[in-house]
Amino acid sequence: MHHIFPLDGIAPPLATTIFFGANDAALLGRTNERQHVPISEYKENLRNIVNHLKDCSNSMVIVLITPPPIDEEGREDLHSWSLYGENERKLPERTNEMAGVYAGQCIELAREIHIPCVNIWSKLQETEGADALPK
């Protein structure tokens, strides 16, 4: 972990946000499966990152941020022509449902280790007019 987040010889930041999971939730057997991280490994990775940062500074504020929701229709419209051309994909490589599972694990971990979590997966879907945003 130290080689990813080296803090030797520098003052640690006052606050850090950790915003992982959107790519980790890619579905197996689909175009971007190489980005998939199993859900238990995702949660453990988050825990390890938080623990490392706490070891670097006991005063650093650490905030987890859930993965965002997935606009499945928008992704399909964008990627069907740009990546697949005539071979438009039939199955999504990410789903909002799976992003929600990863968001749930992020929230659960934050509760377990008593740190704040911003649940953007839910908040962005609750935003009035979110469905009407341009794609």
**Res. 17: pLDDT tops 50:** yes
Give domain 15-125's CATH number out of 3.90.950.20, 3.40.50.1110, 3.10.20.440, 3.40.50.720: 3.40.50.1110
Query: Cα separation of 120 and 128, whole Å?
Result: 14
N-terminal to C-terminal alpha carbon distance within the chain: 37
Provide the mean pLDDT of the chain: 85
- Least confident window among 32-41, 90-99, 115-124: 90-99
Residue with the bigger pLDDT between 53 and 90: it is 53
**Res. 56: pLDDT tops 80:** yes
Query: Cα separation of 17 and 106, whole Å?
Result: 13
Q: What band does 81 get if pLDDT is binned at 50, 70 and 90?
A: low
**Res. 16: pLDDT tops 80:** yes
**Res. 95: pLDDT tops 70:** yes
**Res. 64: pLDDT tops 90:** yes
Q: What band does 74 get if pLDDT is binned at 50, 70 and 90?
A: confident
pLDDT of residue 78: 62
Cβ count within 10 A of residue 43: 19
Query: Cα separation of 62 and 65, whole Å?
Result: 10
